[in-house]
Structure 1
Amino acid sequence: MTEERSRRKTGARTAPARVSAIGVIGVIGELFITAGVLVFLFLGWQLWLNDLVVGADQNRVGVALARNWDAGTPTHAHVTPAVAPDYGPPAVAEPPKNAVKFAVMYVPRFGSDYARSISEGVGTTDVLDKNGIGHYPGTQMPGAVGNFAVAAHRTTHGAPFKQLATLTVGDKIYVQTQDGYYTYDFRGLEYVRPTAVDVLDPVPRAPGATPTERVLTMTSCNPMFSAAERIIAYSVLESWQPTSAGPPPAILATVSAKG
């Protein structure tokens, strides 16, 4: 009888303790679930919604910059002539100071509203994270013989080059500066190690070779969400026209949009 009463007393003390322990575990589990949901929501914001917001803002900045250059130029009917006018050798500007915006890139393949500014330099915090597309110092400027090389993110910070792998041969890439419009014809993609810096040579991947073409090289990390290698997109200058001639018809609506 004494032992039975002892067991009853012990059970009475143990049951609440078990209930309390289960309650604590339940609270901890709920906290982990809540934390997981918050992390998921943050990743969704950072990798999707934030890119849409920042990307749209970068497009507005690019259009505003382009409209500033076009201000005061004559209005054109923008009718494509049967024979393309000869505007002579492309105008080539001097590179600006670091982080200064000097050009706007339009890629119809990336969307009808795509208009991203290009800044001097490829620093992460002062250019790529902030302004979008950066120009490799020491490489050529738009329209010059040699290699006009640029870089941008494929994820986060507006992801200017997110769709780089969707380019197909023959796609046009337009670069606008204060001097005019440069139309580049896309030729192909290449995937290289991060150490393959020869993609920035005047003749990409051919160190020491003398350049004869005017090349645009676009670089970014690959695969998505990784820096294991680099994706490289090569284009060659097809034509150019001064600002006074107005924008090419393919980007007229984008350039004319309100910034």
Structure 2
Amino acid sequence: MGDTGTNSRRELRARRARGSSRPRRRATFLGVVGEILITVGVVALLFVSWQMWIGDRIIGAEKHREASALSQSWMTPAPAASASPTPTPAEEAAEATVPVQTQPDHGTQFGVMFIPRFGPQWQFTIAAGTSRSDILDAGEIGHYADTAMPGGVGNTVYAAHRWTSGAPFDPIDQLVIGDAIVVQTPDGWYTYRFRTLEYVQDTQVEVLLPVPQQVGVEANGRYLTLTSCAPKLNMLERIIAYAVFDSFTPAAAGPPASLAAPTVGATS
């Protein structure tokens, strides 16, 4: 009985010794490649997360401050009412005329865009041109060359990213009919009112026409068009927001009422 127990313990120790002496499995080429690919995937996921959330917030906040500084530099105090003489009919007619800037050189910052629906801090500079490297990727809103300037008869058209570079147009699909889209220049504020969204292929350049999507039609009104990618990572489709001109507020009159935050879900 004692010998049997002793033999059993010896066999158990022998088995353990044999098990511990087994050689470890060697790393294979495919195993190494698999681990590298997993590591690369994790790094790529972290990078995309940075680009879509953390990086966009940091860049967006920086661009908001830049746009705010430019906006403030264009504001002039309104003259006292007692010092204002009664305007003549000719002066009233001149005030009723909407001023329109000439087309600036490529890359020139000429405006600031506000969309109250997107929050009180949402404001971005507008630069002439829509090239990626120096305008869109820099977190600015680009103005399409040869489209109307703010307040001009025809279609004033703008582009911006929906992700990366501050993502100015990320919330474009949240616009509600009647929302204000305000463009400020040194002359004052141009208020447009949102009307509708449309999804098109990237080849449908008719959205840039003087009357959007109306080939051969001469403009007799003032329109504004915003363009961006839809979905965010798809370069083959565009989301288009159309708006119509509502009013012009001279710089001397101070910020317009249209900059006030909209009522949630309000339409007009």
Q: TM-score range by the shorter chain?
A: 0.7 to 0.9
Q: Deviations over 1:225-247 (max 9, x none)?
A: 11121111000110011100001
Partner residue, 1:199? 207
Between the aligned partners of 1:29 and 1:223, the Cα distance in structure 2 is: 31
Between the aligned partners of 1:76 and 1:62, the Cα distance in structure 2 is: 28
One of 154, 161, 184 as aligned partner of 1:176 = 184
3-state SS of paired residue (1:105): strand
One of 224, 232, 252 as aligned partner of 2:232 = 224
Between the aligned partners of 1:27 and 1:198, the Cα distance in structure 2 is: 52
Per the TM alignment, residue 94 of structure 1 is displaced from its structure 2 partner at its CA by 0.7
How many residues are matched? 232
Partner residue, 2:129? 121
Partner residue, 1:62? 67
Is contact 2:209–2:215 with CA below 8 Å preserved after alignment? yes
User: Which residue identity is paired with 1:244?
Assistant: A
What's the RMSD between the two structures over aligned residues? Answer: 2.7
Partner residue, 1:42? 47
Per the TM alignment, residue 185 of structure 1 is displaced from its structure 2 partner at its CA by 0.5
Between the aligned partners of 2:67 and 2:74, the Cα distance in structure 1 is: 11
3-state SS of paired residue (1:21): coil
CA distance 1:73–1:33, shift in 2 (3 Å): same
Identity score, percent: 44
User: Which residue identity is paired with 2:40?
Assistant: A
Q: Is 1:150 the equivalent of 2:155?
A: no
CA distance 1:76–1:32, shift in 2 (3 Å): farther
Partner residue, 1:236? 244
CA distance 1:180–1:227, shift in 2 (3 Å): same
Is contact 2:127–2:143 with CA below 8 Å preserved after alignment? yes
User: Which residue identity is paired with 2:78?
Assistant: P
Query: RCO greater where, 1 or 2, for CA within 8 Å and sep 6 or more?
Result: 1
Between the aligned partners of 1:36 and 1:194, the Cα distance in structure 2 is: 30
Partner residue, 1:74? 78
Per the TM alignment, residue 15 of structure 1 is displaced from its structure 2 partner at its CA by 3.6
Structure 2: which 5+ runs fail to align? Answer: 1-17, 82-91, 262-268
Per the TM alignment, residue 45 of structure 1 is displaced from its structure 2 partner at its CA by 0.3
User: Which residue identity is paired with 2:45?
Assistant: F
Between the aligned partners of 1:138 and 1:76, the Cα distance in structure 2 is: 39
CA distance 1:24–1:210, shift in 2 (3 Å): closer
Between the aligned partners of 1:124 and 1:24, the Cα distance in structure 2 is: 41
Between the aligned partners of 2:210 and 2:34, the Cα distance in structure 1 is: 58
Per the TM alignment, residue 213 of structure 1 is displaced from its structure 2 partner at its CA by 1.1
Structure 1: which 5+ runs fail to align? Answer: 1-10, 78-84, 254-259
Is contact 1:76–1:246 with CA below 8 Å preserved after alignment? no
TM-score under structure 2 normalisation? 0.79
Q: Deviations over 1:178-234 (max 9, x none)?
A: 000011000101111111111111111112211111100001111121112111100
Per the TM alignment, residue 74 of structure 1 is displaced from its structure 2 partner at its CA by 3.0
CA distance 1:201–1:24, shift in 2 (3 Å): closer
3-state SS of paired residue (1:125): helix
Between the aligned partners of 1:34 and 1:93, the Cα distance in structure 2 is: 53
CA distance 1:25–1:190, shift in 2 (3 Å): closer
Per the TM alignment, residue 31 of structure 1 is displaced from its structure 2 partner at its CA by 4.9
Per the TM alignment, residue 37 of structure 1 is displaced from its structure 2 partner at its CA by 2.6
Between the aligned partners of 2:79 and 2:43, the Cα distance in structure 1 is: 52
Is contact 1:148–1:217 with CA below 8 Å preserved after alignment? yes
TM-score under structure 1 normalisation? 0.82
One of 98, 115, 128 as aligned partner of 1:107 = 115
3-state SS of paired residue (2:199): strand
One of 215, 220, 233 as aligned partner of 2:223 = 215
Partner residue, 2:7? none
Per the TM alignment, residue 75 of structure 1 is displaced from its structure 2 partner at its CA by 7.5
